[in-house]
């Protein structure tokens, strides 16, 4: 199209032996004299159409990066938070795998109940279930980060095959400053990866894969959290290298039921226990 447009200008220029400016001026004059062969009514319309197309393309190419560059870290987080705001509650079947030097448990099947903002209830078919708190992600994983004061859009990075914004920030949790980094997909505004490093205590590295539920909600299909758990009292590690290994909690979700209006009663027992 651009080549086509250029060709027509050169044709016009060649016909009059003038520069572009001169050519445009003469074209404007000649537009009033449709009898001239190179500036017929049809030719003028084609040139205008071509110009409009090129202008639109230029606008598109220029406008997207310019608009993106203007996004602040908070805006990126708010866009990502949009996915979680529409979810009031959900239930899901979870297949939990814990690989840890200090926790030895088989693959566990549990039913997870979640209600905004952070209510969580677990039910296990075995009657007892135990999950590392920092390895379980339900709801908005960067809720605390959004409440934090220092946020910065650091860079773009490819994570899990997705082009992502990298947002860094810090927030205070139980009197401890937590440095957090979130990788948010540029295309669909989903959190793909998250790292949390508290001033003291175990750090968490989290990766998320999503599924679409009911064509409307994006919810995690799999979460993989790498947590460094503190040693248990009385638990003598067999060897240092083994005890330093982090705990990896992988949760595979299935059978989501979203916004069914879960009662608060479901969560009361868990709140008492914890």
Partner 1 sequence: MLIELRLEVLKVLRRPRTYVGPVAMGLLIAAVLVGLKYSHPFDNVQKRLAQDFIICGSFINAAFLTRYLLDGIVYMFLPLFTCVVCGDLIASEAADGTLRALLCRPVKRSSVAASKYAVCVAYVLALVLGTGLAAYLAGSVFLGRGSLVLHEEGIWILPERTAIGRLVAAYVLVAAGMVAVGSISFMISTFLSNSNGAIAVAIGIMYGSAVIGQIDYFAKLRPYLLTTHLDKWQHFFTGALDVQLLARSVAALLIYSALALLIGLLIFERRDVLS
- Note the residues at the interface with partner 1 (CB under 8 A): 100-106, 108, 110, 120-124, 126-134, 136, 229-230, 232-238, 270, 273-274
Instruction: Find the length of the chain.
Output: 274
Instruction: Choose between 92 and 229: whose C-beta lies nearer to partner 1.
Output: 229
Q: Which residues are within 8 A (CB) of 244 and not within 5 positions of it... i.e. 6 or more apart?
A: 101
Q: What is the nearest approach in angstroms of partner 1 to the Cβ of residue 98?
A: 9
Phi, psi (5° rounding) for residue 200?
Answer: -140, 155
Q: Please tell me the distance from the alpha carbon of residue 218 to that of residue 214, in angstroms, as a whole number.
A: 9
Q: What is the nearest approach in angstroms of partner 1 to the Cβ of residue 227?
A: 9
Instruction: Choose between 151 and 229: whose C-beta lies nearer to partner 1.
Output: 229
Instruction: Choose between 81 and 178: whose C-beta lies nearer to partner 1.
Output: 178
Q: Please tell me the distance from the alpha carbon of residue 179 to that of residue 142, in angstroms, as a whole number.
A: 12
Instruction: Choose between 96 and 151: whose C-beta lies nearer to partner 1.
Output: 96
Q: How far is CA 5 from the centre of its chain?
A: 40
Q: Please tell me the distance from the alpha carbon of residue 24 to that of residue 9, in angstroms, as a whole number.
A: 9
Q: What is the nearest approach in angstroms of partner 1 to the Cβ of residue 238?
A: 7
Q: What is the nearest approach in angstroms of partner 1 to the Cβ of residue 71?
A: 35
Q: What is the nearest approach in angstroms of partner 1 to the Cβ of residue 151?
A: 28
Instruction: Choose between 111 and 162: whose C-beta lies nearer to partner 1.
Output: 111
Q: Please tell me the distance from the alpha carbon of residue 63 to that of residue 11, in angstroms, as a whole number.
A: 31
Phi, psi (5° rounding) for residue 65?
Answer: -65, -35
């Amino acid at each position: 199209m651009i080549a086509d447009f250029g060709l027509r200008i050169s044709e016009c220029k060649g016909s009059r032996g003038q520069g572009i400016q001169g050519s445009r001026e003469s074209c404007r004059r000649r537009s009033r004299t449709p009898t001239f062969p190179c500036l017929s009514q049809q030719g003028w319309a084609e040139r205008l159409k071509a110009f409009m197309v090129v202008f639109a393309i230029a606008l598109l190419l220029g406008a997207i990066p310019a608009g993106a560059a203007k996004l602040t870290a908070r805006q990126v987080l708010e866009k990502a938070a949009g996915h979680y705001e529409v979810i009031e509650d959900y239930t899901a079947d979870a297949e939990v795998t814990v690989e840890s030097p200090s926790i030895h448990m088989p693959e566990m099947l549990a039913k997870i109940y979640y209600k905004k903002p952070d209510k969580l209830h677990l039910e296990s078919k075995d009657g007892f279930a135990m999950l590392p708190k920092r390895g379980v992600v339900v709801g908005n994983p960067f809720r605390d980060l959004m409440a934090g004061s220092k946020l910065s859009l650091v860079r773009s990075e490819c994570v899990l095959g997705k082009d992502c914004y990298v947002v860094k920030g810090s927030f205070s949790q139980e009197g401890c400053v937590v440095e957090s980094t979130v990788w948010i997909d540029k295309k669909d505004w989903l959190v793909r990866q998250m790292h949390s490093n508290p001033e003291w205590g175990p750090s968490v590295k989290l990766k998320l894969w999503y599924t679409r539920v009911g064509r409307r909600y994006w919810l995690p299909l799999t979460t993989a959290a790498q947590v460094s758990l503190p040693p248990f009292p009385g638990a003598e590690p067999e060897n240092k290298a083994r005890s330093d290994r982090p705990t990896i909690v992988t949760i595979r979700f299935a059978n989501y039921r979203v916004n069914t209006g879960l009662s608060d009663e479901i969560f009361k027992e868990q709140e008492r226990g914890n």
